[in-house]
Amino acid sequence: MHNRFHEQSLRTQLLLLAILLILPSMGIIIFNGYKQHKDDLKQVAVETQKLADNIAAEQERLTLDAQQLGKLLAQLPEVKQRDTAKVQYILTNILKDNPQYLDLVIADRSGNAWASAIPLNQPVSLADRRYFKNAVASKRFSSGEYIIGKTSNKPTLAMGYPFLDRQGEVEGVIALSFNLDQMKMLLERSQLPKDTNYIITDHKGIIINRGHDAAGYVGTAIKPYILKKLETSPDKDTYLFVRADGDKRITTHHKLRLSGEQIPYMYVRAGISYSTAVTRAYNEILYNSTLLAPFVIIAFALVLYIGKRSISDRVAVLDSAAQQLARGSLPGKISDIVKGGELGRLGETFDDMARQLKTREQELVDKTQLLAELNNNLEQKVQSDLNDLRQKDLMLIQQNRQAAMGEMINNIAHQWRQPLNNIGLIIQNLQDDFETGQLTQEAMAADAKQAIETILYMSQTIDDFRNFFRLDKHKQDFLLNELLNRTLEFVSISFRNRNIAINTEVEDAVTAHGYPNEFIQAMLNILNNARDAHMERKVVAPYIRISIFKENGRAVMTVTDNAGGIPPEILPRIFEPYFSTKELSKGTGIGLYMSKVIIEQHMNGKLTALNVEDGAEFRIEV
């Protein structure tokens, strides 16, 4: 091969050398494209895992909330007394405030429905439903399968919570039907490629919900071999899946089970097209190759031109002179024939070439070996430095994740103190009324309703804090007076028991734009701080005045108390994180800081505080 190369013409050798010079660039392009291909596949796998994880986590949260709601409903006196009118009213309000449900139905032991969030226009029996049969047989919270709701007339999957009589026998079942279309919001917020999709099926493989193009699929069964793969695979797995139409997809699935049930009640599959995953890598190879093409053409043209003028023509003269010299027909030295440049010096050193050739070859071998050793050491050092950087990055990511988890837990603990206190006061009031003989059915129903709403709010608080630092939440318009009424419902018992009057001065239709649930949290923090100040200072005739009005095109809310105000030396610091003048058991100092973040960072508003005549005033502008 070596001899064949030298047997070629000089121009051909120059062309081959030019090709060899271009090959590394092409190799780098292809290698980078291959590496990008692998990285993109890994990233797509991660994205499908995230989507499947989010959907599975959301369904598990819905299931846990449904179980807790069923438990609470089962304990209501109205349910035990089978007061259809009152139970219907409670179920209707719960359904209105919880769009994650399609319907809530309560049936007796025979399956005959006697109360529903959606009014019953005709007799309805749940006796044929899987969740009803399993709940009656097992006496525990049980899963269902794909059905068309008898009251909602929509595809759904329901759960059944049995409630027992005093003898421990099943008295009836509370059915909770999920609105799985809520999962589509997770897909929309994921900002993944358009062909990303998910499918939710029941234990038989019947499609319950689909992210895109649901029409024509919901209610149909997946292929038996696909269901068999899901049944025999691990609870969570990622793999390359080929659809019936030949489309390859990177797919992740999850199996969801209820405690005590061996068979998964739901399969969640999320996938992204393989072609979408590798498009970027192919486009990069094409782009780089196109970018390199003009340089390749120019390089070949220069090689041909320079090779002919500077090398080929002069070598031809040198070759002719050497042949003449070999024949003895041309007197003189070869260096006299070709002058100037490297070829001229070649003629001058021709006689010395043979003597130095061996020495130079040895030097070349030694230098090549040294260069190889340097390259090897350099590659090892670069790899070692890269590994060190990766370890440091992993440590920083882990530290950041732990700090975020710790802050979320502290925030949830701080936000739950007041609702838990409210529930405790409700229970204490019930006990006092019972002991004094003042407990009425109406009072019992009102306190139970308030306890359920507080517990549902606590559950919602977990969701709000989990989404607190995400940037994909949607703002909306809301009425401040409606949020104020909802907030006062949560704290009315706490303030009434402490003889703290709450006065409101509210203008009609004052609208703000932002996150209503987070705004409620900010109001609760401010109201709770005012309440604690009253109790700490034992104010005579304590009151809190809340005003809502429009000013300069902005919605304004002020909360004013008569608790003596904030000491001037700590007023500038009250919005700092973890700053508190209270004992550790009474507060962590995170409440006003979180309120500041909600109003100013999340809603582009302004939260300030100042001392007034008899106390302090907090002002919110959004």
The CA distance from 380 to 99, in Å, is 58
**What does the pLDDT read at residue 93?**
95
Task: Output the pLDDT for position 405.
Answer: 45
For residues 478 and 420, state if they share a domain.
no
Residue 156 clears pLDDT 90, i.e. is over it = yes
Q: Are residues 413 and 492 in the same domain?
A: no
- Confidence (pLDDT) at 575: 87
Which of 156, 57, 179 shows the shortest CA–CA distance to 462? Answer: 57
Q: Amino acid letter at 172?
A: G
Of 187 and 165, the one with more pLDDT: 165
Q: Is the domain of 499 the same as that of 390?
A: no
Number of domains in the chain: 3
pLDDT of residue 472: 39
Q: Tokens 């819905």: give the residue.
A: 62
Q: Work out the pLDDT band at 92, boundaries 50, 70, 90.
A: very high
What pLDDT, on a 0 to 100 scale, did the predictor assign at position 363? 76
Which residues contact residue 245 at a Cβ distance below 8 angstroms, ignoring those fewer than 6 apart?
Answer: none
Q: Are residues 521 and 553 in the same domain?
A: yes
Residues 6+ apart with CB under 8 A from 201: 146, 207, 208, 222, 227, 266, 267, 269
User: Beta-strand (E) ranges in 223-276?
Assistant: 236-242, 248-256, 266-273
Query: In this structure, is residue 346 part of a structural domain?
Result: no
- Contact between 82 and 114 under an 8 Å Cβ cutoff? The reply is yes
Task: Decide: helix, strand or coil at residue 249.
Answer: strand
Q: How far apart are CA 249 and CA 193, in angstroms?
A: 12
Strands 501-506 and 543-551: parallel
- Give yes or no for a contact between 414 and 591, defined as CB atoms under 8 angstroms apart: yes
Same domain, 487 and 608: yes
Tell whether 359 and 414 lie within a shared domain.
yes
Query: What is the pLDDT, as a whole number, of residue 550?
Result: 95
Question: Considering only 64-73, 74-83, 247-256, 323-332, which range has the smallest mean pLDDT?
Answer: 323-332
Residue where a domain terminates, one of 454, 481, 500:
454
The lowest-confidence range among 56-65, 301-310, 365-374 is: 301-310
pLDDT bucket at 358, cuts 50 / 70 / 90: very low
Going along 286-413, which residue ranges are E strands? none
What average pLDDT does this structure show over 182-192? Answer: 84
Cβ neighbour number for residue 273 with a 10 Å cutoff: 19
First-to-last C-alpha distance (Å) of the chain: 80
Q: Are residues 446 and 477 in the same domain?
A: no
pLDDT tops 50 at residue 402: no
Residue 538 covered by a domain? yes
Task: Please compute the mean of the pLDDT values over residues 368-375 and round it to a whole number.
Answer: 82
489 and 583 housed in the same domain: yes
Confidence at residue 469, expressed as pLDDT on a 0 to 100 scale: 44
> For residues 251 and 49, is the Cβ–Cβ distance under 8 A?
no
Asked if residue 399 has pLDDT above 50, the reply is: no
Let me know if residue 136 belongs to a domain: yes
Does one domain contain both 424 and 511? no
Q: Which of 172, 167, 159, 164 is nearest to 84 (CA)?
A: 172
pLDDT above 90: percentage of residues in the chain: 38
* Per-residue pLDDT at 620 exceeds 70: yes
Query: Which helix (DSSP H) or strand (DSSP E) does residue 346 occupy?
Result: helix 341-435
């529903």: which residue's tokens? 116
Band of the pLDDT at 1, cuts 50, 70, 90? low
The pair of structure tokens assigned to 153 is 């007339």
Same-domain pairing of 439 and 518: no
Quick check: 396 pLDDT over 50?
A: no
485 and 601 together in one domain: yes
486 inside domain = yes
* End position of a domain, from candidates 160, 180, 200: 180
Q: Contact, 285 vs 30, CB < 8 A?
A: yes
Task: Give the H/E segment covering residue 201.
Answer: strand 197-201
Helix axes 341-435, 313-327, angle to 10 degrees: 140
Instruction: Flag whether 218 is in a domain.
Output: no
Identity of residue 69 = L
User: Which one is predicted more confidently, 375 or 605?
Assistant: 605
Q: Is residue 208 part of a domain?
A: no
- For residues 582 and 479, membership in a common domain is answered with yes
- Domain membership of residue 601 as a residue range: 473-621
- What is the distance between the alpha carbons of residues 453 and 425, in angstroms, rounded to a whole number? 14
Query: Of 454, 488, 508, which residue sits at a domain end?
Result: 454
Q: What is the pTM of this model?
A: 0.46
Q: What residues pair up with 142 in beta bridges, in sequence order?
A: 160
Per residue in 515-570, pLDDT (tens digit) is 888 888 888 889 988 998 999 999 999 999 999 999 999 999 999 999 999 999 99
What pLDDT is stored for residue 285 in this prediction? 63
Q: What is the CATH number of the domain that holds 75?
A: 3.30.450.20
How far apart CA 582 and CA 588 sit, in angstroms, is: 8
Looking up residue 507, the CATH number of its domain turns out to be: 3.30.565.10
The HSE-up count of residue 252 (CA atoms within 13 Å, CB side) is: 20
- Among 28-37, 76-85, 557-566, which is the least confidently predicted range? 28-37
The verdict on residue 597 lying in a domain is yes
User: Could you report the per-residue pLDDT of 576-604, keeping only the tens digit for each?
Assistant: 877 777 665 555 667 788 889 889 988 99
Does residue 543 lie in a domain region?
Answer: yes
